Structure 1
Amino acid sequence: MNTRKAESADVALVLEGTFPYVSGGVSSWINQIIRAYPEIRFAIVFLGSRREDYQEFKYQLPDNVVHFEEHYLYANLNAHHQPAKRSGDREAFALIDQLIDALHQGPDSPQTMEVFRQVALQMRPGGRLQMEDFLYSQRAWEIICNVYRDHCSDPSFVDFFWTVRIMFQPLWLLARVATALIPVRVVHCASTGYAGFLGGLLEQTRGTPLVLSEHGIYTKERKIDLFKSEWIRDNRNIFQRDPTELSYFRQMWIHFFEWIGRYCYASANPIIALYEANRLRQVADGAAPERTFNIPNGIELARFAPLRAQRPATPPPVLCLIGRVVPIKDIKTFVRAMRRVANELPGAEGWIAGPADEDPAYAEECQSLVRSLGLEKNIRFLGFQKVEDLMPRIGLVVLSSISEALPLVLLEGYAAGVPAVSTDVGSCRQLVEGLDAADQALGPSGKIVPIADPQQLADAALSLLSDPAAWQAASNAAIARVERYYTDTMMFDRYRAVYEKAFLRARGAH
């Protein structure tokens, strides 16, 4: 257990399910940001699901992390005592009634956000809307029953009741965290969601400037998760279901994350995206356009450029997917593509370099698929690897993901001179083909293929690996693109300006 505690800090990083417990793109970026500013004293507020879902740190905390605290959203969902009878605060529940009515006016209603902010204030310790009243009062029970009767299309009241509890109960935990957090000059959230709710509450109650950086769009990624989640039940029978309609509980979760996302957007300034399509998505989801702008990821050229000299004269027939073995990375499409690649290039190998412990069931499915396709000699699951050890030994970096933002692994490959084959997600087309005319003039640094299309992924990889001139042209474009547009120095300079501006606002607020 980490015991770093301080009486104050400069920046509180509010992180949900990422650094320091989980490796990956967002966590690597957070590690970069902290280490780039040794003069800034950081506090980390880590939010997780349950304590047992996280093991040891995947990253060592830098020395300028002076304070660390962790909180688990679903740690205490059940009462360990017989609850006392409660009536609930009349004014607080009148506010809840107003919020329920306002939510039906649509997401763009300013009245709805104002009521939402009033409710958030009353969730704090000493406020009128206490968690025990939400859990155990007669009035809360009546509201839940009324909403179920009026709006729920799922026949299971029990599932509705527990969905409401699981969804909203963590907000009271976050209200306590906001009250108890040490003084900080700036809050920086790496997502909306529960982390963004905490950041918004700190801005609302303390006036602390809130910086929001979104790699992926949280509400979009949660929608993908919710569409695929098996734990969200649909109890309607075959005659009650409309196959074109999402189950009521999935809709509940989606609307919940949309609203707490809007709450965060209302408090954050600036709101930073990695690339233009995501910035426009933020605006569509409720962010004020004038508060939004882009800061793309950047990588340390000096770390990867020397690897170019270690490469063989011809590209190795090795396709490497660097990432977690989880459904959003669509490892199965990569495996299926490797069957076609191996048919054309029998000596080709597919390496999957990333941890497989996040979703063991999915990892086992991927390994079973390898066996069923007879690819045991062609595909290797390497686990976590140092990227520097991989780059001189591979011919292509491959991304088969169904969702990405601006993946660092492509930039790291580019800096080492390795072209990419990627699905058309996030900013990947921009990274491969270029953003504007000057960028596009550098030439393509690989190939873009549709999502979940093993044949096109395989054919794109083969077109580069079987044509040394095309591979070399893509490698040259990759090096030129990353050196011109995606260095960590550029990124650090822009975030330094963000922090300095926020510090000035913090000084003016006190």
Structure 2
Amino acid sequence: MRIGLLTEGGYPYVSGDARLWCDRLVRGLGQHEFDIYALSRSERQEDEGWVQLPPQVSRVRTAPLWMAEDDGVVHGRRARRRFAECFGELAAAVCAAPAVLDGSEVSGGPTASEASRGVVADRFGSALYGLAELARDEGGLVGALRSEGAVRALERACRAPGALRAARTARVPDLLSVAAHIERALRPLSLDWYEDDGLGSVDLCHAAAGGEAALPGLLALHFAGVPLLVTEYGVQLRAHYLASAAAEESPAVRALLAAFHGALAAEVYHRAALITPGNTHARRWQERCGADRAKLRTVHPGMEAARFAEVGERPDGSGGADPDTLVWVGRIEPAKDLISLLHSFAEVRKEAPKTRLRIVGAPAEGPEGALYLGHCKALAAQLFPDEAEGVHAVGDNPVSFEEIGGPEVPSLAAAYASGAVVVLSSVVEGFPISLVEAMFCGRATVSTDVGAVVEVIGGTGLVVPPRNPRALAEACVALLRDPERRARLGAAARARALELFTVEQNITAFHGIYLEIVSRSPVRRLVVDDTGDPLPFGVPAEAHVPGRWTEARLMVTGRPRWAAGAPVRATAPLPAGEGA
């Protein structure tokens, strides 16, 4: 079958989110043909290029979300009236949406009655598809969405009876900010991806995330009846809520954007044929946001177990570990709460003075990551003043900060192998990849109860409350003092990881889901004979098998309608194993 893989800021870009699992999925399903439709996030991401693509990728089409030049489309009176009606309805739906962002909803998700959700979904969906039809008929919407008329429509909706309480306080700068955000989010409506030679020709759209990534899939379903599958390993709506809570925006802007993204998520969940969360934590969020439980299928991310086999399969179960060493592996950033880990380690040293802590990882990109790393090193020096000299290197010092690739830590597997217990101290976590890697290595683990940690561990490690250094220390000491228990937990953890979290199980699950969705979707391409009667088997099965009998594989880059006017760049078929 032919799959349209939809990404936003991800595959096939080298620096994209979800790049690894998308690449593993495409390579693992060589019997299918993939067309990739990618929305890029920045010019830098585009300049860094693509990963090498396998031969089953027929073509790649890209469009930027980070910029949108005015397409020069001037709407006539009738088109302006259509836009005013559709955008006014969308603004009214957003302003009446029941999902308001506040502290309780950031932690537990939006709450609303089923009836109110249904009303908002109907209004929002009708307006969304009305705007998409206008873009198809008249050209892009960039200018219209940036117009004064759009801002006035938002203002009328905010002042209307029944509008969100916070929205009623919106001032002109707030409305301009919201309008700009909505224009960016709705840029996929102006793309020319939805014709019969684009997403209209695929058998299934698979969105690698919710939000903007799934928007082209909604339009392919609306215009061509292509079924939509949505995978969320990190719920986009939750990510927006957390980012909005940390942003310096007014309450009106936060409320309106939360309502907009909530309505978009509800529409995606409603229209999708199936939704595949990566864990139960994401699944609960999706259910709270209106997803039908019957459509949800949990599919855990697939990870390569082979790279950790040498450590995990050591006959003694130790893998060369130092029995007095704790290891933390990950990206150094505030969400990982290394501050609590260091305070916890100070408590561990009181009970087990020989214990060392190895912090392995690079700081997050940007100045904030480097600043946080510096703060952690300063705290380590303060907590262990007698041993602070040379605290950055392994030796007699109890704390070390290292990066993978150095002489002491040549590989990721070596990092996990160097310690008896692997620690995760996060306060925010989606799917804990480092925890699964430690399980592949047969390591006993101590983790904080955040995100999908309990689901992943499943009783094969110790779990403590987040931001509780004393509880973290007590759990670490308990395992350091009991090598037999460490061995039992490590063996059980490796067995669990091999059963649930491998690439093979992920690929097998999606192969079955693809077949299930396509098997219950109507045949959309009808071939008739000379008399106009349907011709059975008019589209032979081999038409979907990559080879010389299929159409020439084509790569088209950058054909958003807002950049219309430039000639389409077409190249020869993609060489096997090559990307850009």
Q: Which category of TM-score, normalised to the shorter sequence, fits these structures? A: 0.7 to 0.9
1:41 alignment partner, one of 14, 27, 33: 33
1:295 alignment partner, one of 292, 299, 302: 299
Q: Does the CA-based 8 Å contact 2:328-2:423 persist in structure 1? A: yes
Q: Which residue of 2 aligns with 1:366?
A: 373
Question: Which runs of no fewer than 5 residues in structure 1 stay unpaired?
Answer: 1-8, 235-246, 435-443
The one-letter code of the counterpart of 2:508 is: D
1:373 is displaced (CA, Å) by 3.0
The one-letter code of the counterpart of 1:380 is: F
How do residues 63-142 of structure 1 correspond to structure 2 at under 5 angstroms? 63-76=55-68, 89-103=80-94, 104=96, 106=98, 108-124=116-132, 125-127=135-137, 130-136=141-147, 139-142=149-152
2: CA distance, partners of 1:413 / 1:65: 33
Q: 1:47 to 1:93 in 2, by over 3 A?
A: same
Matching of residue 472 in structure 1 with residue 490 in structure 2: no
Deviations 1:119-174 (A, max 9, x none): 222333334783322222x5334323434556645565224312321233331344
With 195-204 and 143-152 compared, the bigger mean Cα shift is at 143-152
Q: Which residue of 2 aligns with 1:257?
A: 261
- Scaled by the length of structure 2, the TM-score of the pair is 0.72
Matching of residue 233 in structure 1 with residue 249 in structure 2: yes
1:63 is displaced (CA, Å) by 3.8
Higher relative contact order (CA 8 A, sep 6+): 2
1:490 alignment partner, one of 505, 508, 518: 505
Question: Which runs of no fewer than 5 residues in structure 2 stay unpaired?
Answer: 99-111, 161-165, 382-387, 393-398, 526-580
2: CA distance, partners of 1:328 / 1:163: 28
Q: Does the CA-based 8 Å contact 1:196-1:261 persist in structure 2? A: no
The one-letter code of the counterpart of 1:184 is: V
Matching of residue 419 in structure 1 with residue 444 in structure 2: yes
How many residues of Structure 1 are paired with residues of Structure 2 in the alignment?
Answer: 474
Q: Which residue of 2 aligns with 1:382?
A: 403
Deviations 1:234-273 (A, max 9, x none): 3xxxxxxxxxxxx222222222211111111122111112
Deviations 1:462-486 (A, max 9, x none): 3223321221121122123224444
2: CA distance, partners of 1:302 / 1:289: 34
Partner of 2:5: helix, strand, or coil?
strand
Q: Percent identity?
A: 21
Q: Which residue of 2 aligns with 1:27?
A: 19
Matching of residue 171 in structure 1 with residue 180 in structure 2: no
Deviations 1:309-350 (A, max 9, x none): 554465444433333334444444444444444564455132
Q: Does the CA-based 8 Å contact 1:148-1:157 persist in structure 2? A: no
Q: 1:170 to 1:35 in 2, by over 3 A?
A: same
With 461-470 and 59-68 compared, the bigger mean Cα shift is at 59-68
Q: Does the CA-based 8 Å contact 1:74-1:170 persist in structure 2? A: no
1: CA distance, partners of 2:476 / 2:17: 23
The one-letter code of the counterpart of 1:94 is: E
Deviations 1:34-57 (A, max 9, x none): 221122222333323322366635
1: CA distance, partners of 2:429 / 2:483: 29
Matching of residue 202 in structure 1 with residue 220 in structure 2: yes
Q: Does the CA-based 8 Å contact 1:95-1:115 persist in structure 2? A: no
Partner of 1:395: helix, strand, or coil?
strand
Q: Which residue of 2 aligns with 1:240?
A: none
With 264-273 and 19-28 compared, the bigger mean Cα shift is at 19-28
Q: Which residue of 1 aligns with 2:560?
A: none
Partner of 1:262: helix, strand, or coil?
helix
2:154 alignment partner, one of 115, 131, 144: 144
With 470-479 and 341-350 compared, the bigger mean Cα shift is at 341-350
Larger CA Rg, structure 1 vs 2: 2
Partner of 1:421: helix, strand, or coil?
strand
- Scaled by the length of structure 1, the TM-score of the pair is 0.81
2:7 alignment partner, one of 15, 29, 35: 15
Partner of 1:404: helix, strand, or coil?
coil
